[in-house]
Amino acid sequence: MIAEPGTYPTPPEGWTCFHCGMHFGPTFQGWQEAFHHFGENVRGDAYCQMTARQVRGMEDMLRQYREEDTALHRHIARIESEHAIALRREEEKGYARGLRDARLVEAEAQK
């Protein structure tokens, strides 16, 4: 959840990252830049502390979600496919049963 500006009092000097020394002013733009740098999760790493490998991993994960190509998407597609196959088989069984019953009725009518 994103905190709105003004929720907490802004320090008069703004924010400074103690990892890299980057300073963010006490303006709305400074607040936005600080939010982007530090992130919304207090347990996460500041942007300056992330390795290129972590950033590339996050970009790859985002690409997979955009392309709907994650393990979850594959699992859902497999379940939908299995359901469609089972449904088709049951419809074919019902159709075959209907044909069999029609032949029995026709055979009874011809006697």
pLDDT-derived band of residue 1, with 50, 70 and 90 as boundaries? Answer: very low
State the Cα–Cα distance between residues 40 and 21, nearest whole angstrom: 19
- Contact assessment for residue 55 and residue 44, using Cβ atoms and an 8 Å cutoff: no
- Residue 89 structure tokens: 């088989």
Across residues 15-30, what is the average pLDDT? 86
Please indicate whether residue 48 or residue 43 has the higher confidence score (pLDDT): 48
> Can you give the C-alpha Rg of the chain in angstroms?
31
Q: Average pLDDT for residues 39-56, to the nearest whole number?
A: 85
Q: Is the pLDDT of residue 15 over 50?
A: yes
The mean per-residue pLDDT over the stretch 25-42 comes to 85
State how far the Cα of 78 lies from the Cα of 85, in Å rounded to an integer: 11
